[in-house]
């Protein structure tokens, strides 16, 4: 059990920020949270064995759970990657999502859409509109989006809460269809996309944001195959951003508090 920045809930016998707890065979993450006395509202994100989890997830013997609170503010003792500093929203995203391994199909599709939308724009612009996209695009449900017709696309292009770019909106629809083809043929889009890093995160050791590459051999291979399958707005740079966002690569700089949490 790793408590991230929630050390006030550490048991007395904890070592550092870790503790071993005993639960019954039917326990869920939520039961563990209640045992610790940590309010659910303080749990913004959690990891189970290094991957994104939910409070409803069942626990097995030996599972490692990491609890993380909401954005912890700009205190001097918290070191983050420089790009996360401009706003609370960016810092919260950095602290709880960026670089955390994501193996959920719908989550993967959401980031494919958002990374495509970002092309030519800043990530903060897209992040500020993320909730609007979730509302407008049926919670990023690829099966629903794949059925969008021209009338639906035209309606979306009048939504001031979205980035009203016709090519990007059409790409969201065609990518949903391509996504479903991959999922139906392979069984899991997540399994397909993770093959480009052999199923496990690539852990880098950059000391400065200037060291981060714009693309890599893996992102070029990923881009080439996605394009072959009919995906749009999936160039090597966009693919690398997707890899960073979904934890296929850990690109937190080594001095960032999240770097070691994700090892």
How confident is the model at residue 76, as a pLDDT? 47
The residue from 110, 115, 133, 148 that is catalytic is 115
83 among known catalytic residues: no
Tens of pLDDT, residues 24-54: 778 887 777 777 766 554 454 556 776 766 6
Whether the Cβ atoms of residue 232 and residue 171 lie closer than 8 Å to each other: yes
DSSP 108-150: HHHHHHHHHHHTTS-HHHHHHTHHHHHHHTGGG-HHHHTT--H
Phi and psi at residue 61, in whole multiples of 5°?
A: -55, 130
Residue ranges with strand state E in the chain: 45-48, 51-52, 65-68, 202-203, 249-250
CA distances from 205 to 117, 133, 245, 252, 254 (A): 29, 33, 17, 8, 6
The residue from 71, 93, 192, 259 that is catalytic is 93
237 C-beta neighbours (distance < 10 Å), count: 16
Tens of pLDDT, residues 138-181: 999 999 999 999 999 999 999 999 999 999 999 999 999 999 99
Q: What is the mean pLDDT of residues 87-109?
A: 92
The residue from 44, 83, 92, 123 that is catalytic is 123
Phi and psi at residue 150, in whole multiples of 5°?
A: -60, -35
Q: Which of 68-72, 138-142, 179-183, 249-253 has the lowest mean pLDDT?
A: 68-72
CA angle 224–226–232, rounded 5-degree value: 105
Domains in the chain: boundaries: 1-70, 105-250
Residue 68's pLDDT band (cuts 50, 70, 90): low
Tens of pLDDT, residues 225-245: 999 999 999 999 999 999 999
How confident is the model at residue 1, as a pLDDT? 45
Asked if CATH classification 1.10.340.30 holds for the domain at 105-250, the reply, yes or no, is yes
Question: Given a cut of 80, is residue 13 above it in pLDDT?
Answer: no
- What CATH code would you report for 1-70? 3.10.20.30
How confident is the model at residue 9, as a pLDDT? 62
93 among known catalytic residues: yes
- Please tell me if the domain spanning 1-70 has the same topology as the one spanning 105-250: no
Q: What is the mean pLDDT of residues 8-36?
A: 71
240 among known catalytic residues: no
How confident is the model at residue 47, as a pLDDT? 63
Which of 111, 26, 106, 36 is closest to 66 using CA atoms? 36
d(CA 106, CA 189): 9
């Amino acid at each position: 059990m790793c408590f991230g920045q929630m050390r006030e809930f550490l048991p007395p016998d904890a070592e550092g920020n870790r503790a071993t707890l005993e639960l019954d065979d039917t326990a869920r993450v939520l039961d563990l949270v209640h045992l610790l006395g940590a309010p659910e509202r303080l749990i913004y994100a959690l990891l189970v064995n290094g991957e994104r989890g939910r409070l409803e997830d069942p626990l097995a013997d030996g599972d490692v759970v990491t609890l993380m609170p909401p954005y912890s503010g700009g205190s001097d003792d918290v070191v983050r990657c420089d790009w996360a500093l401009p706003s609370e929203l960016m810092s919260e995203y950095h602290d709880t999502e960026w670089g955390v391994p994501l193996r959920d199909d719908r989550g993967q599709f959401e980031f494919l859409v958002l990374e495509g939308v970002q092309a030519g724009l800043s990530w903060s612009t897209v992040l500020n509109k993320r909730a609007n996209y979730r509302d407008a695009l049926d919670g990023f449900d690829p099966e629903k989006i794949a059925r969008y017709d021209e009338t639906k696309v035209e309606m979306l292009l009048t939504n001031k809460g979205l980035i009203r770019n016709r090519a990007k909106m059409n790409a969201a629809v065609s990518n949903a269809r391509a996504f479903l083809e991959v999922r139906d043929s392979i069984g899991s889009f997540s399994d397909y996309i993770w093959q480009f890093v052999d199923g496990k995160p690539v852990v880098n050791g950059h000391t400065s944001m200037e060291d981060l590459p714009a693309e890599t051999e893996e992102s070029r291979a990923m881009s080439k195959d996605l394009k072959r399958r009919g995906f749009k707005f999936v160039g090597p740079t966009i693919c690398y951003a997707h890899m960073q966002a979904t934890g296929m690569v850990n690109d937190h700089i080594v001095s960032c508090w999240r770097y070691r949490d994700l090892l």
